[in-house]
Amino acid sequence: GEDVEQSLFLSVREGDSSVINCTYTDSSSTYLYWYKQEPGAGLQLLTYIFSNMDMKQDQRLTVLLNKKDKHLSLRIADTQTGDSAIYFCAESMGRDDKIIFGKGTRLHILP
Amino acid sequence: DVKVTQSSRYLVKRTGEKVFLECVQDMDHENMFWYRQDPGLGLRLIYFSYDVKMKEKGDIPEGYSVSREKKERFSLILESASTNQTSMYLCASKQGTSTDTQYFGPGTRLTVL
């Protein structure tokens, strides 16, 4: 079945790069997303990538997609305290408009 | 900007009560979704709707029902609340094509005593 896996916690020092990893099982995924959830708030779309792309960069964010290994990563350069949040990886099949979410990775910033 | 609003940020109810969670979006989106979010379990889809008066079961519909009488409003109903329905409830909406993403409301934290 459809499944999205990601580690639950990541700790990074302020100023370092954060890399959050995600694996998915359905090779027919058409879109892959990264959402950010700050404490007490809903999910906010950070970025997304089409399945025919390998990389997408947007300011401090870099998304890498390895379609062969079904592996998606989000790199945050120069991590700041404001980046502290839960990051959700998600995939869309393109059919029936459902999005499958991972359980979320809590990013903790060390001073 | 897309805006998805939920009627309450925090709600406390008693076991057996009927509970209504309201969600409103202002961008004429066709699709609306209700999720619950629990620690260690991520987001789980309860129900979704493609259009007015249409509804589809998600992954965990048991104990819930929904209503979509108007395009902008999608209500989640707990007919008889139970303690295991204590959770964060998130509403989302999106346009009808698969290229669009979901926009989320701020969430309602429901506690059932």
The count of other CB atoms within 10 Å of the CB of residue A37 is 21
Q: If you average pLDDT over residues A47-51, what whole number do you get?
A: 88
Rounded to the nearest angstrom, the minimum Cα separation between B75 and chain A is 17
Mean per-residue pLDDT of chain B:
91
Instruction: Give the distance, in angstroms, between the CA of residue A30 and the centroid of all CA atoms in the same chain.
Output: 15
Q: If you average pLDDT over residues B48-68, what whole number do you get?
A: 93
Q: If you average pLDDT over residues A45-73, what whole number do you get?
A: 92
Q: Name, of A30-34, A80-84, B39-43, B54-58, the range with top average pLDDT.
A: A80-84
Q: If you average pLDDT over residues B25-52, what whole number do you get?
A: 91
So what's the pLDDT on residue B100? 67
Judged against a pLDDT cut of 70, whether residue A95 lies above it is answered with: no
So what's the pLDDT on residue B98? 56
Name the band, by pLDDT with cuts 50, 70 and 90, for residue B37. Answer: very high
So what's the pLDDT on residue B76? 98
Residue, of B62 and B42, whose pLDDT is higher: B62
CB A71 within 8 A of CB A23: yes
Pair of tokens at residue B33: 């979704």
Contact A45 B102 (CB under 8 A): yes
Long-range contacts (CB closer than 8 Å, 24 or more residues apart) made by A35-39: A35/A87, A35/A88, A35/A90, A35/A101, A35/B104, A36/A85, A36/A86, A36/A87, A36/A88, A37/A85, A37/A86, A37/A87, A37/A88, A37/A104, A38/A85, A39/A85
Rounded to the nearest angstrom, the minimum Cα separation between A15 and chain B is 28
Q: Among A10, A31, A9, A17, which Cα is nearest to A101's?
A: A31
CB A20 within 8 A of CB A11: no
**B102 neighbourhood in chain A, CB within 8 Å:** 43, 45, 99
B 13-72 residues with CB below 8 A of A?
Answer: 31, 35, 40-43, 45, 48, 50, 58
pLDDT digits (tens, 9 = 90+) for B67-98: 999 999 999 999 999 999 999 999 999 886 65
Pair of tokens at residue A5: 């896996």
User: What whole-number distance in Å separates Cα of residue B16 and Cα of residue B64?
Assistant: 13
Q: If you average pLDDT over residues B8-31, what whole number do you get?
A: 94
Cβ-nearest to B42 among A42, A93, A104: A104
CB B91 within 8 A of CB B9: no
